[in-house]
Amino acid sequence: MNLSHVDSLIGENRADVPAGCRGAAQVADNHTDLTGRLDQTLDVNSENIDELLENLRHVSQNLKEFTNTIKTRPYTLIRSSTPREHKTGEPRLIQARGAIKRHPEKANGGKEKESLGLQPARL
């Protein structure tokens, strides 16, 4: 295209050019107003945003550790990786054939305790 051709195209649409320029100026003003409000909002909430990002870092780290634990020791989903210590005189609870039973104890005046389905472990 040569310059005279471009000039003739602009000459044909001269009424639309000023309206387009006004529209572009309005969009620029709106953009400036919007970015100013966004800057103000970020300034007011900067502490909260920093705290939120720090919490997300901790959550992300915990999820990474949890994922690695599950990859290397999937049984920890079912069993405790740190079971509580068995104390002498306390019955051990085991799962037997799908039902959990408690070892009968004579602690209730010679009566057996109500069965919770737990049996003592046989070591």
Q: How do the domains of the chain map onto residue ranges?
A: 14-91, 92-123
17 versus 68: the higher-pLDDT residue is 68
Distance CA 112, CA 114 (A): 6
CA angle 63, 66, 69 (to 5 degrees): 150
85 versus 46: the higher-pLDDT residue is 46
99 versus 10: the higher-pLDDT residue is 10
